[in-house]
Each structure stands twice: as C-alpha cells, then as structure tokens.
C-alpha cells in the first residue's frame, strides 16, 4: 500500500518544491516506485526542477481536473522526460512519475474563473497509487491554507511542515500545525530550512520541537551553493556528498523508517 | 505620483512582505502618509514585521470583508513600532505615518474565507475608502503568491506594480506569468526587483537578463543579506539599518515609485 507524504509550509519560499523533488528522487533512488505531484495550481514550480518547460508539457494536472485527460496522461515517467539529458542521467533507471501543474497563464486563470471539484483530486491520487503501484506519493502544496492543501493534509500518512527560523514562519507554522491536529494527521514532522550557518542546528531543533510539541527531523542549513544552483536540477543527486544532500537523505530515511519500518536499500519487492 | 502600489511575486518567499514594509517605511521617512494592506488572507505575515501582535489587532481585514466593521477601523498606526528596536539602538522614526491593515492569523478566520468566500468587490471599495478616510498619499498592497482573485484585483487597480523575484529557474518561469497578466490588465508602471541574489553572481548580468526576458525596468538587484536573515522578520530592515547599501537601493526604488 502506498504512503502519502505531503510537504507544506504556511508562508511561501521555504523550499517546499525543492524538498519535494529531492525527497522523491532519493526515495526513487532507493528503488521505490514514487509519484510526485504539484498541487500548487496557483503558482506551480516543481516541474522546473525536473527540467520541464511549457513546451515539453503536453498534459497537466489541470487537464485532468477539467476532464480533458486522464490522470495518467498527466503523469510523466521522468526517466523518459529527461531522455538523453546528460545532466539528469541519475534519473534514467528510476521508477518516478511527475504530475505537473500548468504554467500557462490562461490555464491558471481558468482555475480562478471556473474552479474545479476538489474530490477529483482525491480520486486522482488514488488512481495514480493503484495503477502505477506506487510505494510513495509525494504531494507538493501551495503555501497557506486553501482547499487543495486541506485535502492533501487530511489524507496524508505523513505531513512535513517546512519552516525557516523567521518570526513570520514561526507564527504561520502554528496555524498549519493546528489544522493538522484538527484533521488527525498521523506522523507530523517539522523540517527547518535555510538556517543561517552560525546557528547551532541541534539547539535550534530542540527549541523548535519544544515550542510546537512536534518532532523536528532535520535542519537544512542555508547554502549559497543551493541558492546558486537556482532550481536547475535535483541538487542532492547532482552533489551527493554536499552537507545539504546528506540532510536530505536523513529526511528520506526518516520517511522510510516511519512509514515502511525498515531502511532497506532495495525496493521492498 | 502613484497612489496604489501592489507588490507581487509568482512564487512565494521572494521577499514581498519585507519589500512592502521597507518601501512603506522609506516613504513615511520622506514625510508621506502610507497605508499597508495585507491581502495575503491565506497566509498573512507582514504584521510580524511591524511588531503587531494578535492581541493588538482590534479588527482585521477579515472583519471588514464580513461586514463586522468599517475599513478604517482595521487600520493600525504602527509608526511608533518602527522606533522599537533592540536596547541601546537609536532608530529613525518616520516623519510621516504608516498604517497597517492586517489579515487575521486566527485559524478559524482563515478557514472561514475558504468555507464561505467573500465579495472581492468589497476589497476594491475598501482600498479606495482607505485612501480617502485616512488621507493617504500612498496605499501599498502586499499580496499572496501566485494568481488568485485578490491578486488580480490588486494588480488591476494599481498605479504601479513591483514584481519581486529571485534569480532562480522557478522564479524566472513564474515571473513571466505575472508580467503577462499585468500587461493584459494595463498596469501603468511596472518594476522588477531581483532579490536574494547570491554574491557569486554578476549583478549587472542578472539585471540585464531580467530586463531582456521581461522587457521591463529592473528597479533594483538586491543581494542576499545576512543582516536581513538575522533580523528574521523581527522588524523593518530600513529602520534598523538606515545607511546600509540595501537601504540605499530600496530608497532609490521608493523615490522612483513616487516620481
């Protein structure tokens, strides 16, 4: 049975899409069958990390939500998407599917004008999981509270709340946690991101865990290398020995340990 | 002179709220009466920068949208908050005024927007009433990232739009969407601000690339700043660091807006 992992933050720019893409790839590199879906319909970005553009995206989540396509038409096996791209050779043998949202202005505006049935999103998640025989479905969300987020959070086996050590994030994360508790989400975990390097990460993790009464599984340090890479690729796969990448693998291991129970290197087939 | 100025970005976390708060403060330092409204109802945050706590919020924008109060009752004079710094630090209190219209940070209030919605037309009425009742020189609108109804309205009625982006592939693609929408809505003036630029990049190249990509004036390229990170939204940067190079760049932007 597949596990659904939602990645959320109250404020934007905490690094949700980067974390979603990196965790999905690391899970896939362990041999798991993984789907990663962009429910940030208002401001999609996940596809960029996989090198997709409007030109290479025929169908998107939007097409499915408006009945113009099945969810499978919008699910791209990334090993085929990246094709001969030598910078993404690490994706050639993975069983990973990307479901992007449309970056076309007219498509985004249509969501505003016409809306769509949120239940379809739930059906789509389930369809993907059963047909693609997924071990994990990773959901990248839009910041703040909105219908897609509430649905994603409500059906998750694990919710990762991402926050920076910043007063706006501290206040906002309390709102997300409050909602997650009301929705009885199992396995709520906090991840700190963009932590200035002069901070002591262990002390910060302890303080934040105590404040929110929720486990903090990792602190990703602010890295000029990650910023300079500018969402061009999956950082943890390109630079596996970088400290930031090691922390991504700590998060991935925590997901596997919590939801699967073992830390096996190969797929549980 | 621009009356209504919106600050937007397609992706989140570019620094919209910080840019809004800083430009508003700089305009107040020039002696103007400035309103700042948080239309980021899904994930409000700018009240944190002005040091307005939940207890101090008498009424929020949400209360106005549900007919519980007049729009001017939601305005909080935060000018004196700008002078509240860490011990021993002398801060510049603006000659003008800054009024903040916050969105509610209460879970129940945010959920109510989702459940019941509200009349976006009321927001438009509220903007104009604020300018009139508070005798504002400038109203600055802080928005939620991405495209949504509040953002479309804010952009469409603005005299000037500031689009904030980072030099990041996700932002480059997304900013194209915002710029396209702004052009369709005939915004009179549009400026791009590139924020959080890593120091290893050539700032002139970054400006030239953005200018060329969007065919739009790049009003500032701001570096990633350790001081800004350390401040961690505990205050308004330009009030703490009035002579910092970033403050000087933001001051040029503020002056450009009211030309």
Query: Nearest CA to CA, how far is B259 from chain A (Å)?
Result: 31
* Half-sphere exposure of residue A204: CA atoms within 13 angstroms, side-chain side: 22
Q: Which of B15, B110, B173 sits opposite A103 (nearest CB)?
A: B173
Interatomic CA distance for residues B165 and B180, integer angstroms: 15
CA dist A176 and A170 (Å) reads 10
Question: Is residue A122 pLDDT above 90, yes or no?
Answer: yes
Q: For a pLDDT cut of 70, what percent of chain A falls above it?
A: 97
Give yes or no for B91 touching A (CB within 8 A): no
Range of the domain at B53: 4-257
Q: Does B42 touch chain A if contact means CB atoms closer than 8 Å?
A: yes
The count of domains in chain A is 1
Strands of B58-188, DSSP E: 76-77, 97-101, 138-142, 160-165
Q: Quick check: is A245 in a domain?
A: yes
State ipTM: 0.88
Q: Mark yes or no for CB contact A168/B17 under 8 Å.
A: yes
- In this prediction, residue A264 carries a pLDDT of 47
In terms of residue numbers, what domain contains A111?
3-259
Beta-carbon contacts of A106 under 8 Å, excluding residues fewer than 6 positions away, are none
Q: Name residue, tokens 């790839």.
A: A25
Q: Which token pair is B167? A: 């030099």
Pick left, alpha or beta for residue B164 (phi over 0 → left; psi -120 to 50 → alpha; otherwise beta): beta
Q: Do A145 and B17 touch (CB under 8 A)?
A: no
Asked, for residue A266, whether it belongs to a domain, the answer is no
**Nearest-angstrom CA–CA distance, A12 and B231:** 18
Question: What CATH number does residue B125 fall under?
Answer: 3.40.50.300
Running DSSP on this structure, what letter comes out for residue B218? E
Mean pLDDT over all residues of chain A?
Answer: 93
> Do residues A46 and A17 make contact, with C-beta atoms less than 8 angstroms apart?
yes
H helices present in A12-68, as ranges = 16-29, 46-49, 61-65
Residue with tokens 């519980």: B68
Residue A100 · residue A76 · CB < 8 Å: yes
pLDDT at residue A265 greater than cutoff 50: no
Q: What is the pLDDT of residue B89?
A: 61
Minimal C-alpha gap between A235 and chain B (Å): 13
Residue A186 reports pLDDT greater than 70:
yes
> How many residues would you count in chain B?
259
What pTM was computed for the model? 0.92
Could you give the C-alpha distances from A247 to A102, A221, A232, A254, in angstroms and in order?
30, 9, 19, 11
Which has the minimum average pLDDT: A15-24, A191-200, A204-213, B106-115? B106-115
Q: Among A42, A53, A146, whose Cβ lies nearest the Cβ of B114?
A: A146
Alpha carbon distance B240, B243 (integer Å): 9
Please give the pLDDT value at position B88: 52
Nearest CA in chain B to A15: B13
Contacts of B226 in chain A (CB under 8 A): 196
How confident is the model over A7-22, as a mean pLDDT? Answer: 96
pLDDT of amino acid A171: 93
- pLDDT given for residue A227 in this prediction: 93
pLDDT-derived band at A268 (thresholds 50, 70, 90) equals very low
- In chain A, the residue whose alpha carbon lies closest to the alpha carbon of B14 is A13
Q: Which of residues 214-243 of B touch A (CB under 8 A)?
A: 224, 226, 229-230, 232-234
Angle, in degrees to the nearest 10, between helices B169-184 and B203-214: 40
- Residue A158 forms part of a structural domain: yes
Beta pairing, strands A96-99 & A136-140: unpaired
Looking from the CA of B87 toward its CB, the CA atoms found within 13 Å total 0
- B120 DSSP β-pair partners: none
Mean pLDDT of A57-65: 95
**For residue A218, is pLDDT > 80?**
yes
Give the orientation angle of helix B169-184 with respect to helix A105-114, to 10 degrees. 70
Read off the pLDDT band of A81 (50, 70, 90).
confident
Strand blocks (E) in chain A = 3-8, 34-38, 76-77, 96-99, 136-140, 158-163, 188-195, 216-221
- Which residues in chain B are closer than 8 Å to A145, comparing Cβ atoms? 42-43, 110-111, 114
Average pLDDT over residues A221-250: 96
Q: pLDDT tens per residue, chain B (259 residues)?
A: 559 999 999 999 999 999 999 999 999 999 999 999 999 999 999 999 999 999 999 999 999 999 999 999 999 999 988 876 555 565 667 789 999 999 999 999 998 888 888 888 999 999 999 999 999 999 999 999 999 888 999 999 999 999 999 999 999 999 999 999 999 999 999 999 999 999 999 999 999 999 999 999 999 999 999 888 888 998 999 998 999 999 999 999 999 999 8
Please check whether residue B99 is in contact with residue B32, taking contact to mean a CB–CB distance below 8 angstroms.
no
DSSP, collapsed to helix, strand or coil, labels residue A96 as strand
> Which among A17, A142, A194 is the nearest to B170, CB-wise?
A17
Total domains in chain B come to 1
> Which of A11, A105, A178 lies nearest to residue B45, judging by beta carbons?
A11
CA B104 – CA A172 distance, rounded (Å): 11
CB A171 to CB B105 under 8 A? yes
pLDDT on residue B90: 55
Q: Tell if the CB–CB gap between A146 and B40 is shorter than 8 Å.
A: no
**What pLDDT score does A88 carry?**
93
- pLDDT for the residue numbered B84: 64
Q: In Å, how far are A33, B17, B101, B135, B225 from A196, measured between CA atoms?
A: 34, 20, 31, 42, 11
Amino acid A147: pLDDT: 87
CB of B10 within 8 Å of any CB in chain A? yes
Cβ contact, residue pair A11, B13, below 8 Å: yes
- Return all residues near A119 (Cβ < 8 A) that are at least 6 apart: none
Q: Which of B40, B48, B198 sits opposite A228 (nearest CB)?
A: B198
In a domain, A152, yes or no: yes
> For residue B95, how many other CB atoms are within 10 A of its CB?
11
SS3 for B7? strand
The CATH code of the domain that includes A155 is: 3.40.50.300
Whether residue B169 and residue A145 make contact (CB cut-off 8 A), yes or no, is no
Task: Judge whether A265 lies within some domain.
Answer: no
Residues of B in contact with A42 (CB under 8 A): 145-148
Provide the 3-class DSSP secondary structure of residue B69: coil
- B126 shares contact with chain A (CB less than 8 Å): no
Whether A43 is covered by a domain: the verdict is: yes
> Which whole number is the average pLDDT over A211-230?
95
- For residue A267, give how far its alpha carbon lies from the nearest alpha carbon of chain B (Å): 31
Please list every residue in chain A whose beta carbon sits closer than 8 Å to the beta carbon of residue B174. Answer: 43-45, 103
Q: By 3-state DSSP, what share of chain A in percent is helix, strand and coil, each rounded to 5?
A: 45, 15, 40
**Taking 80 as the threshold, does the pLDDT of residue A153 lie above it?**
yes
- Chain A neighbors of B230, CB-CB under 8 A: 196
As a whole number of angstroms, the distance between CA B67 and CA B204 comes to 49
């Amino acid at each position: 049975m597949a596990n659904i992992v939602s990645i959320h933050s109250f404020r934007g720019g905490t690094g949700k899409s980067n974390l979603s893409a990196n965790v999905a790839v690391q899970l896939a590199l362990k041999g798991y069958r993984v789907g990663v879906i962009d429910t940030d319909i208002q401001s999609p970005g996940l596809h960029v990390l996989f090198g997709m553009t409007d030109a290479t995206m025929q169908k998107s989540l939007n097409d499915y939500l408006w009945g113009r396509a099945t969810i499978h038409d919008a699910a791209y096996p990334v090993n085929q998407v990246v094709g001969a791209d030598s910078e993404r050779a690490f994706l050639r043998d993975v069983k990973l599917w990307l479901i992007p949202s449309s970056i076309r202005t007219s498509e985004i505006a249509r969501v505003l004008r016409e809306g769509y049935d949120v239940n379809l999103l739930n059906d789509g998640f389930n369809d993907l999981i059963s047909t693609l025989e997924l071990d994990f479905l990773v959901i990248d969300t839009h910041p703040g509270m909105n219908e897609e987020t509430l649905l994603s959070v409500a059906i998750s086996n694990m919710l990762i709340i991402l926050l920076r050590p910043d007063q706006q994030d501290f206040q906002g994360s309390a709102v997300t946690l409050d909602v997650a508790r009301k929705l009885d989400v199992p396995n709520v975990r906090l991840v700190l991101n963009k932590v200035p390097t002069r901070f002591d990460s262990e002390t910060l993790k302890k303080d934040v865990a105590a404040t929110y009464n929720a486990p903090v599984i990792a602190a990703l340090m602010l890295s000029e290398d990650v910023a300079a890479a500018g969402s061009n690729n999956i950082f943890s796969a390109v630079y596996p020995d970088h400290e930031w990448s090691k922390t991504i693998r700590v998060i991935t291991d925590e997901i596997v340990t919590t939801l699967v129970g073992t830390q096996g290197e190969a797929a549980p087939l | 002179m621009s009356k209504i100025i919106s600050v937007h970005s397609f992706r989140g976390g570019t620094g919209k709220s910080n840019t809004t708060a800083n430009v508003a403060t700089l305009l107040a330092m020039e002696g103007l009466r400035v309103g700042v409204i948080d239309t980021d109802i899904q994930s409000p945050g700018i009240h944190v920068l002005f040091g307005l706590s939940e207890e101090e919020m008498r009424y929020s924008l949400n209360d106005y949208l549900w007919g519980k109060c007049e729009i001017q009752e939601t305005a909080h004079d935060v000018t004196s908050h700008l002078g509240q710094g860490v011990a021993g630090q002398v801060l510049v209190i603006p000659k003008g005024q800054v009024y903040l219209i916050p969105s509610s940070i209460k879970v129940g209030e945010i959920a109510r927007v989702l459940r019941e919605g509200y009349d976006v037309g009321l927001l438009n009425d509220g903007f104009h009433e604020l300018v009139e009742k508070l005798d504002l020189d400038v109203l600055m609108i802080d928005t939620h990232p991405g495209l949504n109804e509040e953002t479309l309205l804010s952009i469409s009625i603005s005299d000037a739009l500031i689009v904030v982006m980072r030099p990041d592939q996700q932002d480059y693609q997304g900013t194209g969407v915002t710029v396209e929408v702004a052009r369709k809505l005939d915004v009179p003036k549009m400026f791009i601000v590139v924020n959080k630029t890593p120091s290893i990049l050539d700032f002139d190249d970054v400006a030239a690339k953005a200018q060329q990509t969007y065919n739009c004036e790049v009003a500032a390229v701001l570096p990633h700043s350790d001081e800004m990170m350390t401040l961690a939204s505990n205050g308004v940067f330009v009030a703490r660091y009035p002579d910092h190079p970033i403050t000087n760049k933001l001051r040029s932007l503020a002056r450009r807006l009211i030309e």
